[in-house]
């Protein structure tokens, strides 16, 4: 649904150059909620602004719903109308809502419809239907100043939906909100994604946001995507930074002659007594250092950090046993070795 290839953005100001995007290949499938996470300055906002051509990429291409927006933007004024139309099918939600304070809630939602030339009666019908969709039917005549932050963001979302977009872009839509309101806004985005089949690309620096609503995620560092995939692919990648951050496990090794192993259970594997089988089969004592069960991307996943007596070399067979049970096994401290082996 959204594809960028080799996307680069270099800002030039007062003789200085900043490379905000450095060859970004992003692929967001139709109907998914895709989260991009990264530290401040990683290039997240630049990416989202290049996706809807609010910012002109320095090089590379952006395709949304099969249309090459970068090509349209490059064709000069005659393609301007086409580009505007294509952009009206991309909704955008902002961190600070960007509502006009002098306009009522309904008039704020009607604004993009006015720009699209929709007639007064149709505009009003549509705006009220959208406000109903986001749970604000009773606030149509209020002004932004009379709303809470969460309500303002609902107006921002209704406005973003005015052009019947196929794609919704959200840049830190919840970072100005408290945790409870954040949850309700994320739930709304999830509902819209499901009810309207909307593809959502959201930018955040909060891992909890990715955890609660995203089907897929990418990690950005210094203008590049360093990891990406569906949440279950990420969780199945040894040494994945995103997986570790999505699902942190703690527990320190208790001695030098010990092997620490992270075991991840997906689906039905969670209910089998594999740890007691392992203990009985190899006659070893297993300590549980940490464990957690959580829902990530709508999937139930269990994780456990266990410790086996002896060094890694002594535990190759029991670790093989765990792998044979269909469990994902990460030997703590061995990630670098595993990644290298995988790359061979």
Ligand X SMILES: Nc1ncnc2c1ncn2[C@@H]1O[C@H](COP(=O)(O)OP(=O)(O)OP(=O)(O)O)[C@@H](O)[C@H]1O
Q: Which residues bind ligand X (CB under 6 A)?
A: 11, 13, 18, 20, 38, 40-46, 205
Closer to ligand X by Cβ: residue 106 or 182:
182
Closer to ligand X by Cβ: residue 109 or 218:
218
Backbone angles phi, psi at 206, to 5 degrees: -105, 120
Q: Which of 45, 52, 153, 240 binds Mg ion (CB under 5 A)?
A: 45
The least distance separating ligand X from the CB of residue 205, rounded to whole angstroms, comes to 5
Task: Report the helix count and the strand count for the chain, using DSSP H and E.
Answer: 13, 14
The least distance separating Mg ion from the CB of residue 33, rounded to whole angstroms, comes to 19
The least distance separating ligand X from the CB of residue 51, rounded to whole angstroms, comes to 12
Indicate the SS3 state at residue 321: helix
Eight-class DSSP state of 78: G
Answer for the pair 247, 292: CB distance below 8 angstroms, yes or no.
yes
Indicate the SS3 state at residue 95: coil
Q: CA-based angle 87:90:93, to the nearest 5?
A: 120
Segment lying near Mg ion (by CB under 5 A), choices 43-51, 53-61, 134-142, 191-199: 43-51
Which of the choices ligand X, Mg ion, none does residue 159 contact, using the CB cut-off of 5 to 8 A by kind?
none
Closer to ligand X by Cβ: residue 46 or 151:
46
The single residue listed with the structure tokens 């196929």 is 166
Closest CA to 296 of 233, 252, 239: 233
The least distance separating ligand X from the CB of residue 46, rounded to whole angstroms, comes to 3
Q: Is 4 in the site for Mg ion (CB under 5 A)?
A: no
DSSP string covering 107-160: HHHHHHHHHTT--HHHHHHHHHHHHHHTT-GGGTTS-GGGS-HHHHHHHHHHHH
Which of the choices Mg ion, ligand X, none does residue 42 contact, using the CB cut-off of 5 to 8 A by kind?
ligand X
Closer to ligand X by Cβ: residue 15 or 273:
15
Rounded Cα–Cα distance for residues 344 and 340 (Å): 6
Closer to ligand X by Cβ: residue 202 or 301:
202
Answer for the pair 152, 99: CB distance below 8 angstroms, yes or no.
yes
Which of the choices ligand X, Mg ion, none does residue 35 contact, using the CB cut-off of 5 to 8 A by kind?
none
The least distance separating Mg ion from the CB of residue 45, rounded to whole angstroms, comes to 3
The single residue listed with the structure tokens 């809630």 is 105
Closer to Mg ion by Cβ: residue 92 or 319:
92
Which of the choices Mg ion, ligand X, none does residue 18 contact, using the CB cut-off of 5 to 8 A by kind?
ligand X
The least distance separating ligand X from the CB of residue 10, rounded to whole angstroms, comes to 9
The least distance separating ligand X from the CB of residue 43, rounded to whole angstroms, comes to 4
Closer to ligand X by Cβ: residue 56 or 125:
56
Segment lying near Mg ion (by CB under 5 A), choices 17-25, 41-49, 208-216, 301-309: 41-49
Helix (H) or strand (E) holding 331: strand 328-331
Record the tokens describing residue 24, joined without a space. 């970004």
Q: Is 170 in the site for Mg ion (CB under 5 A)?
A: no
Indicate the SS3 state at residue 337: helix
- Which residues contact Mg ion (rule: CB under 5 A)? 45
């Amino acid at each position: 649904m959204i594809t960028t290839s080799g996307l680069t953005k270099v800002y030039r100001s007062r003789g200085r150059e900043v490379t905000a995007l450095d060859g970004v290949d992003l692929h967001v499938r139709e109907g998914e909620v895709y989260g991009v996470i990264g530290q401040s300055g990683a290039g997240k906002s630049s990416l989202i602004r290049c996706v809807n051509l609010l910012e002109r990429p320095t090089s590379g291409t952006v395709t949304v719903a099969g249309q090459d927006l970068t090509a349209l933007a490059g064709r000069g004024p005659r393609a301007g109308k086409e580009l505007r139309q294509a952009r009206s099918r991309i909704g955008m939600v902002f961190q600070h809502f960007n509502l006009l304070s002098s306009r009522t809630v309904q008039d704020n939602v009607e604004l993009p419809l006015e720009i699209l030339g929709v007639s007064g009666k149709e505009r009003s019908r549509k705006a009220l239907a959208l406000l109903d969709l986001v749970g604000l039917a009773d606030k149509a005549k209020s002004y932004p100043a009379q709303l809470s932050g969460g309500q303002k963001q609902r107006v921002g979302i209704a406005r973003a939906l005015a052009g019947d977009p196929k794609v919704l872009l959200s840049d830190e839509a919840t970072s100005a909100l408290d945790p409870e309101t954040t949850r309700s806004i994320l739930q709304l985005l999830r509902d819209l994604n499901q009810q309207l089949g909307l593809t959502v690309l959201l930018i955040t620096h909060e891992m909890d946001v990715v955890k609660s609503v995203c089907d897929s995620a990418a990690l950005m560092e210094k203008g590049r995507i360093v990891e990406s995939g569906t949440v279950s692919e990420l969780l199945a990648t040894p040494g994945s930074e995103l997986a570790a951050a999505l699902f942190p496990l703690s527990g320190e090794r208790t001695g030098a002659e010990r092997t620490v192993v992270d075991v991840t259970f997906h689906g039905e594997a969670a209910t089998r007594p594999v740890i007691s089988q392992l203990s009985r089969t190899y006659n070893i004592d297993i300590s549980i250092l940490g464990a957690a069960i959580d829902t990530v991307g709508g999937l139930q996943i269990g994780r456990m950090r266990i410790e086996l007596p002896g060094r890694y070399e002594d535990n190759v067979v029991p670790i093989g046993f765990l792998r044979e049970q269909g469990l994902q096994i990460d030997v703590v401290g061995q990630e670098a070795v595993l990644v290298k082996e995988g790359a061979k």
